[in-house]
Amino acid sequence: MKTVVETKTYNNFINNEWIASVSGEVITSINPANKEAIGYVQKSTEEELNQAVEAAHQAKKAWRKLGQAARGQLLFQTANILESRIDEIAETMTKEMGKTLPEAKGETARGIAILRYYAGEGMRKDGDVIPSTDKDALMFTKRTPLGVVGIITPWNFPVAIPIWKIAPALVYGNTVVFKPASEAAVTAAKVVECFAEAGFPEGVLNFVTGSGSVIGQGLIDHPKLNAITFTGSESVGQSVAKAAAARGIKFQLEMGGKNPVIVTKNANLDQAVNEVINGGFRSSGQKCTATSRVIVESEVYHEFKQKLVEASEKITVGNGLEEDVWMGPCASESQFNTFKNYIEIGKNEGARLIHGGEVLTGGEYDNGFFVQPAIFEEVSPDMTIAQEEIFGPVIALIRAANLEEAIELANNTKYGLSASIFTTDISSILEFIDEIEAGLVRINAESAGVELQAPFGGMKASSTGSREQGEAAKEFYTAIKTVFIKGS
């Protein structure tokens, strides 16, 4: 059953009030399946940004003093409200950025689970007792919030990523200014509505939409901001890091990936094919954990390739709201152009396109950003399509003589987010776990697939080394006070 999703204008949420920007201008959010407007958000100015940061700054003391348990209760409340709106919010996500409805529902359900996980943190310890060398003293650590946290998110997981940043920020006692990606800001506004309805005190969560260069950059540069967390492109991430480091505030970045999958000669090839397709083409390949390079041992290369192409031919592409559609459109015109560009680069550099890569035309395809997933072979390690993050449904097949060479090829990029191996050999598994340069190491499983209770993040240029989600979030969103007490 489809819900009715209204096309309306969403305001900023500042100090618990929904307020329009003084600019009088809005940004239109477009459905990539048919180019229709699905809603409008504020094209905010520095004035609203300043109001939001000031509100968060004013709210931080009372919010910290409310205590962790009470803060957790508000997250439970938010989870229940989001759960009651799961169908509508998932449908909005599909309409706004194209992923299929089951994927959007799965992501929204994950958002609810993340809220409940961090709500539970409200009742967990916020420090440790440590023995002092002075037998008459009590020494312990106490976690304390950072203050005002800025949150900048991308469009590819418009529910899960904002929630996995906002929920721990709030439960550990920070106040928040959240700037979503413009391309998925309507979905983000609906998530914020759930927080708003839960009844957080004024100024605790603030939401400001607008361009990355004005609101995103202005947020990072704001003197009252105490920390910033960002997920998105490497180029913007690096400028976030520079600005934050220059001001001496804590920062956390999650950026790109060029995630490899290794298939060894003794792998279960049917399982490998299935998971490579899921990892490479689900969400139209627009995940930082998406599979983009598949390195196959020579003995099974031809059999694997044949099975992969056969399975890819069965993929149905269309509007993600339709039941029989497996892959939706690219999320935007810009993603669509990026896909087309990399297909041309691949061909021009001498890789062989053995499946897909075309823009789909005719009927509903003419109205949206639909492409056929692509598989290249004869990809050499130095080619652009073997090195740069494409963020689209493109897989590069690379042949390796043995496991050692496969791991060397896998590590031969600047990124290190996620990596998988398909094999039945325990020694190969152990070697892979030891040698692979990736934050997420997956055995006989697709390269994507993040679990909310486990640390998430990459090595090398994929992140700043810190981890999000699970207990790891506490490390970023808090500072430690070491307390030493002695009687007088």
Ligand X SMILES: O=C(O)CCC(=O)C(=O)O
Element (H, E) at 149: strand 148-152
Q: Is 181 in the site for ligand X (CB under 6 A)?
A: no
Residue of 254, 297, 377, 468 with catalytic role: 254
Residues in the chain: 488
Region of 209-217, 283-291, 294-302, 346-354 interacting with ligand X (CB under 6 A): 283-291
Phi and psi dihedrals of 215, rounded to 5? -80, -45
Q: CB-wise, 225 or 406, nearer to ligand NDP?
A: 225
- Encode burial over 163-182: b for 16+ CB neighbours within 10 A, e otherwise: bbbbbbbbbbbbbbbbbbbb
The nearer residue to ligand NDP, 341 or 348, going by C-beta atoms, is 341
- Name the token pair of 442: 């997956």
Which residue among 287, 305, 355, 467 contacts ligand X (CB under 6 A)? 287
Binding mask 200-239 for ligand X (x = CB under 6 A): -------------------------------x--------
Give the H/E segment covering residue 294.
strand 291-297
Residue tagged 């009590």 (tokens): 138
Question: Residue 450 binds what, of ligand NDP, ligand X, none (CB under 5 to 8 Å, by partner type)?
Answer: ligand X
Alpha helices (H) in 67-211, listed in sequence order: 68-84, 86-97, 101-121, 160-171, 185-198
* Minimum distance of ligand NDP from residue 211's CB (angstroms): 5
Query: Taking CB positions, which residue lies at the least distance from ligand X?
Result: 288
Distance CA 365, CA 377 (A): 27
The DSSP output letter for 456 is B
- Binding flag, residue 289, ligand X (CB under 6 A): yes
**Six token digits for residue 417:** 């987010």
- DSSP track, 332-355: SHHHHHHHHHHHHHHHHTT-EEEE
Tell me: does residue 117 bind ligand X (CB under 6 A).
no
Distance CA(423)–CA(443), nearest Å, equals 8
Contacting positions for ligand NDP (CB under 6 A) = 152-156, 179, 181-183, 211-213, 216-217, 220, 231-233, 236, 239-240, 254-256, 288, 338, 389, 391
Asked whether position 448 contacts ligand X by CB under 6 A, the answer is yes
What is the token pair recorded at 73? 């209760």
Whichever of 63 and 281 has its CB closer to ligand X, that residue is 281
Closest CA to 138 of 375, 486, 481, 397: 486
Task: Work out which of 10, 63, 157, 304 binds ligand X, going by CB under 6 A.
Answer: 157
**In this structure, how many other beta carbons lie within 10 angstroms of the beta carbon of residue 467?**
20
Binding of residue 295 to ligand X (CB under 6 A): no
114 binds ligand X (CB under 6 A): no
Contact map string, positions 306 to 345, toward ligand X, x by CB under 6 A: ----------------------------------------
Annotation marks residue 254 as catalytic: yes
Least distance (Å) between residue 213 CB and ligand NDP: 5
Catalog residues that contact ligand X under the rule CB under 6 A.
154, 156-157, 161, 231, 287-289, 448, 450
Return the active site residues.
254
